[in-house]
Amino acid sequence: MSDIRHLIRTSDFSTQEIITLFHNALHYKQLLMSKTPTHQPLKHKNVITIFFENSTRTLSSFELAVKNLGGDILRLDVSRSSTSKGETISDTAANLNAMNPDAIIIRHRNAGAGYYLSAHVNCPIINGGDGAHSHPTQALLDLLTIIEHFGLEELQTLKNADTIAPFAPLDSIKGKKIAIVGDVVNSRVANSNIELLTRFGMEVILVAPPHFLPQTSLRTSDNLKAIAQEVDVIMSLRTQTERHDQVIYGSLKDYASRFCVTKEIVGNNPCIILHPGPVHRNIDIDDEVLKDSRSKVLEQVTNGVCVRMAALDFLIA
Ligand code: NCD
């Protein structure tokens, strides 16, 4: 039981493991792009998905990843599950565990839900997002998208390296600047990216109105226009209205007038623009920028499937 590995937060994977994971993800990407069938490392493996919060991308991405590797998916319909009849999550966990799954992928509104579950089961737990805490596969796919743009060749050179530096293993990524823009304090995506991207040597600048900023030692700003000129990556985030107890800003329109990533804000900066989705169009990023070749939003979705395939392969097979 102690050998079981989980993916609850990005720090569960060493830098060396992440580099190997990226090599595998890119291998899977090549196969998917050329429609070449992969070997089936998850054949006869059962993976349960249990999502207590809404999801389009993450759930379908995980399910596709399992299927691409030949595994079987059992999606628990939470609205009809016994937790909605008052069963505690540890009882739900015990029951799921009794079905002998090979992995459970969970999303929950409470921070720590995946970690809690991991103590009650005999299989890997993959966190598909817990409250405002962590969303490790999202951060991994974001970093892969950044590396594909700035450091793909260097990543390939590490393919057979015996040891990988635990901090800033890629010179082409080290020192690159990223602005994480938006509702940072409520964002698990921001949290996971801050750990992962700083580990890879990037400088993270948080750009938001004061009520969306966490307490942090990172550089912060409320001037997107100025910061947008000096960064290599802009990561826009959605305002997490479902996590706001009270309305803490005038209106989304006011917010957008200062924090929407527009053509004017980006100017001629040859940066790339990321967003985990769902995008609030013209509030987070405007229509024109979404169509711009610097926007890698759909590339992130493609990379999401490949990163999740590599993570499932690593944890289960
Ligand atoms: C994010 C999430 O759910 O944490 N989206 C995602 O997983 N693709 C971000 C969000 O909901 O804004």
Q: How far is the CA of 58 from the centre of ligand 1 (A)?
A: 8
- The answer for residues whose C-beta is within 8 angstroms of residue 113's C-beta and 6 or more apart is 52, 89, 106, 127, 130, 131
pLDDT in tens, 100-136: 999 999 999 999 999 999 999 999 999 999 999 999 9
Pocket test for ligand 1, best of 49, 64, 107, 138 (most atoms within 8 A of CB): 138
The number of the ligand 1 atom at minimal distance from the alpha carbon of 57 is: 8
- pLDDT tens-digit series, residues 64-99: 999 999 999 999 887 776 666 777 777 888 888 999
Q: Per the confidence metrics, is the pTM higher than 0.85?
A: yes
Give, using CA atoms, the residue closest to atom 12 of ligand 1: 238
pLDDT band at 247 (very low <50, low <70, confident <90, very high): low
CA of 160 to the centre of ligand 1 (A): 34
- What residues does ligand 1 touch, defined as CB less than 6 Å away? 57-58, 129, 135, 138, 188-189, 238, 276-277
User: What tokens were used for 316?
Assistant: 């289960």
Residue 246 has pLDDT above 70, yes or no: no
pLDDT of residue 1: 47
The bridge status of strand 219-221 relative to strand 46-51 is: unpaired
Nearest ligand 1 atom, CA 240:
12
CA of 138 to the centre of ligand 1 (A): 8
* Nearest to 279, CA basis, from 270, 294, 289, 266: 289
Q: Tell me how far CA of residue 240 lies from CA of 93, 142, 245, in angstroms.
A: 28, 19, 11
Read off the pLDDT of each residue in 169-198 and give the average, rounded to a whole number: 98
